[in-house]
């Protein structure tokens, strides 16, 4: 069990982050990392963001593949790694939930644009670095 105080610090860090740093394994077995917009989350448990179906990242991701999200506050020496699995969602319902005004610029065909996908991350466990020490906990 993690304390409420630690959990709140983690949630605050996630809330303040404009981006999520996603790592998964590429086809050569290297961890591959890139930043995505921090668009929607359910506590520390679930994260959703949008991505291009045609992007290299989507090509790499096998549904259910092991991945991690990283959040960092460089100034305050805080770092949070969430370990879990990643999945590409292409059902209309998931795509509608993430849709925002202005997305037409990237996806001219709207919600049903085949190049518009949702990336879904489900957390299993966490490592939080703060005050020069690491706390590990299950989610």
What are the backbone angles phi and psi of residue 113, rounded to the nearest 5°?
A: -55, 125
Residue 25 sits in the site that holds its own copies (CB under 8 A): yes
Residue 109 sits in the site that holds its own copies (CB under 8 A): no
* Residue span binding its own copies (CB under 8 A) among the ranges 6-14, 42-50, 79-87, 97-105: 79-87
Distance CA 57, CA 101 (A): 24
Name the residue with tokens 């305050």: 76
- Beta carbon of residue 94, minimum distance to its own copies (angstroms, whole number): 24
Residue 49 sits in the site that holds its own copies (CB under 8 A): no
DSSP state of 62: P
Closer by beta carbon to its own copies, 1 or else 30:
30
Closer by beta carbon to its own copies, 66 or else 97:
66
Residue 64 sits in the site that holds its own copies (CB under 8 A): no
Question: Residue 122 CB: number of other CB atoms within 10 A?
Answer: 16
Cβ-proximal residues to 120 (8 Å cutoff; 6+ apart), any chain: 46, 47, 48, 86, 87, 88, 89, 94
Binding site for its own copies (CB under 8 A): 18-19, 21, 23-26, 28-35, 56, 66-68, 70, 72, 74, 79, 81, 83, 127, 129, 134
């Amino acid at each position: 069990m993690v304390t409420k105080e630690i959990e709140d610090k983690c949630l605050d860090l996630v809330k303040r982050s404009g981006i999520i740093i996603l790592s998964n394994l590429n086809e050569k077995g290297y961890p591959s990392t890139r930043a995505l917009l921090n668009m929607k989350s359910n506590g520390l448990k679930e994260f959703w963001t949008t991505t291009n179906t045609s992007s290299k990242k989507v090509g790499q991701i096998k549904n259910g593949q092991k991945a991690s999200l990283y959040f960092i506050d460089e100034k305050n020496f805080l770092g949070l790694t969430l370990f879990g699995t990643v999945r590409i969602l292409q059902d209309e319902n998931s795509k509608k939930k993430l849709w925002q005004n202005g997305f037409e610029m990237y996806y001219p065909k709207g919600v049903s644009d085949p190049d518009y996908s949702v990336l879904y991350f489900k957390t299993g466990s966490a490592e939080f670095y703060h005050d020069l020490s690491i706390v590990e906990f299950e989610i």
